[in-house]
Amino acid sequence: MDQIRSVPDGAPSGEGAPSGPDLAELLKACGKGDEGAFAQLYDATSSRVVGLAVRVVRDKAQAEEVAQEAFLEIWKKSGRFDSDKGSPLGWLLTIVHRKAVDRVRSAEASTRRDTSYHQQTQPVAHDATAEAVHASLDAQRVRGALKSLTTVQREALELAYFGGYTHTEVATMLELPVGTAKTRIRDGLIRLRDTMGVRT
């Protein structure tokens, strides 16, 4: 079996056809590897197979893929058909229905995974007002803590951290040795940390 022909458009054929082929005999022949019998089986049932698949998956392209998978399984399992357990068309359509339902479930699971992924990776909504309030409160705390420093500590810290000057530049501007400027900055930071209750 090299290739399955495309599904013909038109009225369904199969059990309803007045002089249709004996599907049970065709299945039996398919079970023995008769490709001609399979082609006849396909021609006799493809419209009904695709019709059922379309009703389940609700998409023509997906339904055609389901029908192809179903016919492949029908070819492989045709030797297992037992006419005592049901009609040949019923057996065929059960395979098609199962394949179609599997396709729908797979698509739904994929959609759930995508939705879950997008929900988990969405950036958290940013509350600019709350952030501005926090920044304002932090600034008030820092200003309050700066008032607890000595004048020389505050002056050195303001130049170094708010002015952006290096320790050497601070020392030059305050006409201090570099070591003294560093000590004032360090002592000011320690006092600021203690006043604000920051733990290291």
pLDDT value at position 57?
94
User: Are 78 and 151 in a shared domain?
Assistant: no
pLDDT value at position 3?
54
User: Are 44 and 116 in a shared domain?
Assistant: yes
- CATH value at residue 158: 1.10.10.10
User: Are 91 and 159 in a shared domain?
Assistant: no
For residue 37, what are the contacts with CB-CB under 8 A and spacing of at least 6?
25, 26, 29, 30
Name the pTM for this structure. Answer: 0.51
User: Are 172 and 134 in a shared domain?
Assistant: yes
Are the beta carbons of 57 and 19 closer than 8 angstroms? no
Taking each helix axis as running N to C, give the angle between helix 60-77 and helix 23-31, from 0 to 180 degrees, rounded to the nearest 10: 70
* 165 is a domain residue: yes
* 5 is a domain residue: no
* 1 is a domain residue: no
Are the beta carbons of 40 and 26 closer than 8 angstroms? yes
User: Are 115 and 35 in a shared domain?
Assistant: yes
For residue 17, what are the contacts with CB-CB under 8 A and spacing of at least 6?
44
pLDDT value at position 151?
87
User: Are 64 and 32 in a shared domain?
Assistant: yes
- Which of 77, 95, 121 terminates a domain? The answer is 121
User: Are 56 and 100 in a shared domain?
Assistant: yes
User: Are 138 and 115 in a shared domain?
Assistant: no
φ/ψ (deg, to 5) at 150: -70, 160
Q: Which domain holds residue 176?
A: 128-196
Per-residue pLDDT in tens (0 to 9) along the chain, 200 residues:
555 555 444 444 444 444 579 999 999 999 999 999 999 999 999 999 999 999 999 999 999 999 999 999 999 999 999 999 899 999 999 999 999 999 999 989 888 888 887 777 776 566 677 677 677 777 788 778 888 888 888 888 888 877 788 889 888 888 889 999 899 889 888 888 888 776 65
- Which of 106, 121, 136 terminates a domain? The answer is 121
- CATH value at residue 33: 1.10.1740.10
- Which of 73, 103, 121 terminates a domain? The answer is 121
